[in-house]
Amino acid sequence: MKAIAKNKLYWICQIGGWFIFIAMELTSYVRIDGYKSALLINALVNFILGITVTHFYRLFAIKQGWLNYPLYKILPRVIVSVFVMVSVLTAINIPLDRYTYPIFQQLDITFGFLMGYFFNLSKFILLWTLTYHLFQYWERSLLAEKEKYQLQAAAKENAYINLKNQLNPHFLFNSLNSIRTLVDADPRLAKSAINQLSSLLRSSLQTGKHKTISLKDELQTVKDYLAIEGIRFDERLKYTFNVSEQAMDCNVPPMMLQTLVENCVKHGISNLKNGGEILLEATFEYNQLHIIITNSGQYTPKHNHEGVGIANTRERLKILYDEKANITIGNKDTHYVETKITIPL
């Protein structure tokens, strides 16, 4: 369909352009010598001749692959082609004009006479050729730009998939470690934890097919994860969700909050003798989703190096939202760590 539309546009411009040129020439002759029926014959012949010559040039240029040449290669070919086309038009127009306009029969065919014809026709043929090649160059530039963005999008997509693939093994390893501690101590709880993990992995596989999911679905994954960890920590792990109804329908990257909450448990609460608590808040304001995760503990990155979970989340947000999304993590006071996420919607 695109090729058909392009070909249709070419013929509209081709016929329309030559019609305007011939109409201008015809008008100038009528003003000089008055209207004569021979003028219409001359105009019709030149109209057909102009279309034919330039169209054959187009076909020849396409066949020779000139449209893909750089400027320095195509320029000399254009100059030679314009010379050939103008020479053909001049050779036909001189006898045509002498036949249709008797006044030309009285003029001698001198070098200056030939140059007058040649330069008069060359400006129109040169304009046609430059317009045609500039349009082709512009179209190639658009195509190259489109391919560039497609490659960038594909690269982002691959990077995003790789980041998501990093999450599942990381999460699975930590969950299995949690369950392993229960196998000898409490087989019944271990069995319950395995069921919880199975449900969580099933949900992870389903949501992993999408770039984003609703916050409501993501929170269910977080709850399933905390239920597993709650078996291991018992009363040492407390958590509270405070999420507005508007925020529930907002979209977030799958497993993002689960990864951050897992980070809270692993690096914060698990290091505290008496355990701790997690507070997850989410609000929707001014077309932005604001999420705050507060957990017991202290944030002390070694040598300013972020853990896998934070670094992964930061990269996923950057791929999906460029620089419009933001995540920060730091100590709220001496007892709590605060992670803030802002996502544009």
Element housing 336 (H / E): strand 336-344
Distance CA 238, CA 230 (A): 8
- The reply to whether 310 and 198 lie within a common domain is yes
- Separation in Å, CA 290 to CA 293, 306, 317: 10, 21, 14
- The reply to whether 196 and 109 lie within a common domain is no
- The reply to whether 117 and 219 lie within a common domain is no
Look at residue 156 in the predicted model and tell me its pLDDT: 62
Total domains in the fold of the chain: 2
β-pair partners for 14:
none
Look at residue 282 in the predicted model and tell me its pLDDT: 96
- The reply to whether 309 and 192 lie within a common domain is yes
161 belongs to a structural domain: no
β-pair partners for 251:
214
169 belongs to a structural domain: no
- The reply to whether 283 and 329 lie within a common domain is yes
**3-state DSSP call for residue 321?**
helix
- The reply to whether 142 and 202 lie within a common domain is no
14 belongs to a structural domain: yes
Tell me how crowded residue 125 is: count the other CB atoms within 10 A of its CB.
21
- The reply to whether 274 and 211 lie within a common domain is yes
- The reply to whether 247 and 335 lie within a common domain is yes
In this structure, are residues 257 and 226 in contact, taking their beta carbons and an 8 Å threshold? no
Tell me how crowded residue 110 is: count the other CB atoms within 10 A of its CB.
9
Look at residue 294 in the predicted model and tell me its pLDDT: 96
b/e burial code for range 34-45 (CB count within 10 A of at least 16 → b): eeeebbeebbee
**The amino acid at 242:** N
- The reply to whether 49 and 132 lie within a common domain is yes
- The reply to whether 190 and 338 lie within a common domain is yes
179 belongs to a structural domain: no
Domain end call among 148, 177, 195 = 148
174 belongs to a structural domain: no
- The reply to whether 297 and 203 lie within a common domain is yes
Look at residue 280 in the predicted model and tell me its pLDDT: 96
DSSP one-letter string for 276-302: EEEEEEEEEETTEEEEEEEEES----G
106 belongs to a structural domain: yes
Element housing 170 (H / E): helix 111-185
Q: Give me the tens of pLDDT residue by residue for the chain, a chain 345 residues long.
A: 566 777 888 888 888 888 888 888 778 777 766 667 777 888 888 899 889 999 999 999 888 888 888 878 888 898 899 899 988 888 888 888 777 776 666 666 777 767 877 888 888 888 899 888 888 888 888 777 776 666 666 666 655 555 555 545 666 776 787 778 778 777 887 888 888 788 777 776 766 667 888 999 899 889 888 888 887 777 889 999 999 999 999 999 888 898 899 889 888 898 898 889 999 999 999 899 999 999 999 888 764 556 667 887 888 888 888 888 999 999 988 899 999 999 998
b/e burial code for range 239-252 (CB count within 10 A of at least 16 → b): beeebeeebeebbb
307 belongs to a structural domain: yes
340 belongs to a structural domain: yes
Query: 285 is in which domain, residue-wise?
Result: 186-344
* Dihedral sign of CA atoms 217, 221, 224, 230 in order: negative
DSSP one-letter string for 69-136: S-HHHHHHHHHHHHHHHHHHHHHHHHHHHHHH-HHHHTS---HHHHHHHHHHHHHHHHHHHHHHHHHH
Distance CA 140, CA 93 (A): 36
- The reply to whether 122 and 192 lie within a common domain is no
DSSP one-letter string for 24-38: HHHHHHHHHH---HH
In this structure, are residues 59 and 7 in contact, taking their beta carbons and an 8 Å threshold? no
Task: Detail the DSSP E strand segments found in 157-257.
Answer: 213-214, 237-243, 251-252
Distance CA 59, CA 158 (A): 41
Distance CA 50, CA 22 (A): 9
